[in-house]
Amino acid sequence: MTDDKTPVDRRAFLKGAATGAVAAAVPTPMHAQDHEHEHQVVPSDPALRTKALESLLVEKGLVDPAALDALVDTYENKIGPRNGARVVARAWVDPAYKERLLHDGGAAIAELSYQGAQGEHMVVVENRPKVHNLVVCTLCSCYPWPVLGLPPVWYKSAPYRSRAVIDPRGVLREFGLNLAEDVEVRVWDSTAEIRYLVLPERPAGTEHMTEEELAALVTRDAMVGVARVAPPPGGKA
């Protein structure tokens, strides 16, 4: 792909980022003449800029504020790592479900009604005594929203994205997980629309727990692969 085929070049984009994002909340007469300059995006209060953008879009009829409320509520309260935890717990107690989950993650997850944006094509990878899986998106921050919710800041951060592929064992150590040298580490870089969920190992001492109790043990970090599921407090580890 060459420059002239790229409809959005950096110069055009910069112009927009500078004028649009800033001027939305900080209208000054100067900006009208300022279009042609590639100035830095001046850090201004993103809350104000967001508010200005939202009220413009609402006034133009392009967004419905109640729809925005519904989206925020959905991702704050309804879609989150509890969903993925239920998938994991089901796989731990039901071998047939686990087989379906590893064979066609999307269909098995949909059995529990978890589906939607950024979960269109799910692959589940299983941790075993000698295999540890770790999920990253080095190019942006792809993450399986329907089962884990929106990603935490560290997952989206430059330190994690840069190091997970070159130094996965160091990253895991930083999360408190020291893997033996003979454990195989598989890092999954989410470069396409395939989204990955780690099926962690079921901890010892959980043989008598119900599916619901098991789900309560499963953490987001374990399903990204930066942690193991800890045994229950008081359980025999």
Partner 1 sequence: MNGIHDMGGMHGMGPIRHEENEPVFHAPWEGRVYAINRAIGAWGKWNIDAGRHGIELLPPADYLRMSYYEKWLARNVELLVQHGLVTRQEMESGKPAPGSPKATPALTPDTARAAAARRGSYMRPDAPAKARFQTGQHVRARNINPVGHTRLPRYARGKAGTIFRHHGIFVFPDTNAHFLGEQPQHLYSVRFGARELWGDGASPHDSVYLDLWDSYLEHA
Strand 184-189 vs strand 194-199: parallel, antiparallel, or unpaired?
unpaired
Burial of 185 (0-12, 13-18, 19+ CB in 10 A): middle
154 forms part of the interface with partner 1 (CB under 8 A): yes
Choices 87-95, 96-104, 155-163, 198-206; region in contact with partner 1 by CB under 8 A: 155-163
Measured from the Cβ of residue 56, the count of other Cβ atoms closer than 10 Å reads 12
Expressed in percent and rounded to 5, the helix, strand and coil fractions of the chain are 45, 10, 45
Nearest in space to 175 (alpha carbons), one of 188, 186, 163, 193? 163
**What CA–CA distance (Å, rounded) separates 147 from 73?**
16
Q: Is 142 among the catalytic positions? A: yes
156 forms part of the interface with partner 1 (CB under 8 A): yes
Choices 42-50, 86-94, 97-105, 205-213; region in contact with partner 1 by CB under 8 A: 42-50
* Touching partner 1, residues 54-73 (CB under 8 A): 54-57, 59-64, 66-72
**31 touches 12 (CB < 8 A):** no
Residue closer to partner 1 by CB (options 13, 204) is: 13
One character per residue 71-110, x = contact with partner 1 (rule: CB under 8 A): xx-xxx--xx-------------------------x---x
Choices 10-18, 85-93, 96-104, 200-208; region in contact with partner 1 by CB under 8 A: 10-18
Classify 212 as helix, strand or coil: helix
Q: How far is the CB of 84 from partner 1 (least distance, A)?
A: 15
Out of 44, 55, 113, 141, the active site residue is 141
205 forms part of the interface with partner 1 (CB under 8 A): no
**85 touches 112 (CB < 8 A):** no
Q: Is 44 among the catalytic positions? A: no
The amino acid occupying position 159 is P
Query: Which residue of 97, 100, 126, 138 would you call a contact of partner 1, by CB under 8 A?
Result: 138
Out of 142, 157, 162, 190, the active site residue is 142
**What CA–CA distance (Å, rounded) separates 26 from 121?**
42
- Residues marked as catalytic: 137, 140-142
